[in-house]
């Protein structure tokens, strides 16, 4: 019987955001030495894109207070991209002073979310990043953008397509063409992901798309498959499934990097990451924050590990 053909990519890239989004909501804050240990483990596993922290006010996110120190003391490996999240021009300048050449700006697609938290619309907030873009251009820095609540918002539910499109268009006007569609509150579903991803790729073919999912409602892996089918080839993950956004109700729990890697490898899709080393990184992270990881592959093991020899047939004659 013939089955419909589905096209799968040979390779998908993974960005490890555990050091930022994974740790920013943890009660136990790892020391700088422990963060450096985690960073080295992530690099050793083969991950080539790492979000190492955030240049935000320490009172707002105390878990990120040592990002400057981390940047200045970490061992940089050729071929690995290191970036940090920044909220404004001060954050961009701090990232530059700490030796980073890439920073990520973020804004919510939801007008209700932005108005409630910042008394501004997403478009006006992105227009306010013009000084960031100017500074980056003068100092050979690269800026990327993250559009949070792209799939749902606790203030307004589903976010209208036009609000996401307006945010993308505003980023592109600034010359920022690597953008992440982020499911901050874990409200996305696979059909929605496929339709939004397909539409955005058609409208903005110049953009390098990334997707960022939280596993709040246990749909993150399915959403990644839908994103792949929409043509997206880069996804975020956090070791051990740690963290989440401290400012979004119910948003705890990023998709675990090791679960994503395991799924993709089982599908015959290369990530360039050593799964066993990624699992070891997740265990290390869990030991530092003092609670069990949420990832399924750490609980159940890899599929290949449970395949046993077939029992010999018994002769009952």
DSSP 131-157: HHHHHHHHTT-EEEEEEETSS-BTTTB
Tokens representing 16 are 């490890």
Structural contact between residues 52 and 20, judged by C-beta atoms closer than 8 angstroms? yes
C-alpha 95/C-alpha 68 separation (Å) is: 8
- Give the sign of the dihedral formed by CA 256, CA 41, CA 276, CA 271: positive
Using a 10 angstrom Cβ sphere, with 0-12 exposed, 13-18 middle and 19 or more buried, the burial of residue 65 is middle
Tokens of 207: 């953009």
* Structure tokens that stand for 184 in this block: 């901050």
Q: How far is CA 97 from the centre of its chain?
A: 24
CA distance 238 to 51: 10
- Of 114, 132, 153, 245, the active-site residue reads 245
Query: CB within 8 A of 53, min separation 6: which ones?
Result: 19, 20, 64, 66, 67, 70, 71, 84, 85
SS3 content of the chain, % helix, strand, coil (to 5): 45, 15, 40
CA distance linking residue 70 with residue 34, whole number of Å: 10
- 153 given a catalytic annotation: no
The answer to whether 41 touches 22, Cβ cutoff 8 Å, is no
Asked if 288 contacts 23 with a C-beta cutoff of 8 angstroms, the reply is no
Q: What residues act catalytically? A: 245
């Amino acid at each position: 019987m013939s089955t419909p053909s589905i096209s799968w990519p040979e390779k998908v890239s993974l960005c490890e955001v555990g050091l930022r989004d994974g740790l920013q909501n943890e009660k136990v804050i790892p020391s700088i030495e422990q963060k450096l240990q985690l960073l080295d483990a992530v690099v050793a596993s083969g991950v080539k894109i790492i979000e190492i922290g955030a240049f935000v006010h320490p009172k707002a996110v105390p878990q990120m207070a040592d990002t400057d120190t981390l940047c200045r003391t970490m061992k940089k490996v050729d071929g690995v991209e290191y970036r940090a999240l920044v909220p404004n021009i001060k954050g961009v300048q701090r990232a530059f002073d700490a030796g980073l050449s890439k920073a990520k700006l973020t804004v919510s697609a939801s007008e209700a979310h932005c108005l409630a938290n910042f008394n501004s619309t997403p478009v006006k907030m992105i227009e306010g990043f013009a000084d960031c873009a100017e500074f980056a251009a003068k100092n050979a820095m690269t800026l990327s953008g993250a559009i949070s609540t792209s799939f749902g918002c606790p203030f307004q539910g589903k976010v209208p397509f036009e609000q996401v499109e307006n945010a993308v268009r505003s980023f592109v006007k600034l010359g920022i063409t690597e953008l992440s569609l982020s499911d901050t509150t874990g409200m996305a579903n696979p059909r929605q992901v496929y339709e939004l991803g397909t539409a955005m790729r058609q409208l903005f073919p110049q953009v390098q798309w990334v997707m960022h999912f939280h596993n709040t409602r246990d749909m993150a892996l399915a959403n990644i498959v839908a994103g792949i089918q929409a043509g997206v080839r880069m996804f975020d993950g956090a070791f051990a499934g740690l963290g989440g956004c401290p400012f979004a109700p119910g948003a705890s729990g990023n998709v675990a990097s090791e679960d994503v890697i395991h799924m993709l490898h089982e599908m015959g899709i290369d990530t360039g990451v050593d799964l066993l080393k990624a699992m070891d990184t997740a265990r290390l992270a869990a030991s530092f924050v003092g609670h069990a990881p949420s990832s399924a592959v750490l609980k159940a093991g890899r599929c290949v590990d449970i395949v046993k020899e077939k029992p010999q047939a018994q002769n009952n004659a």
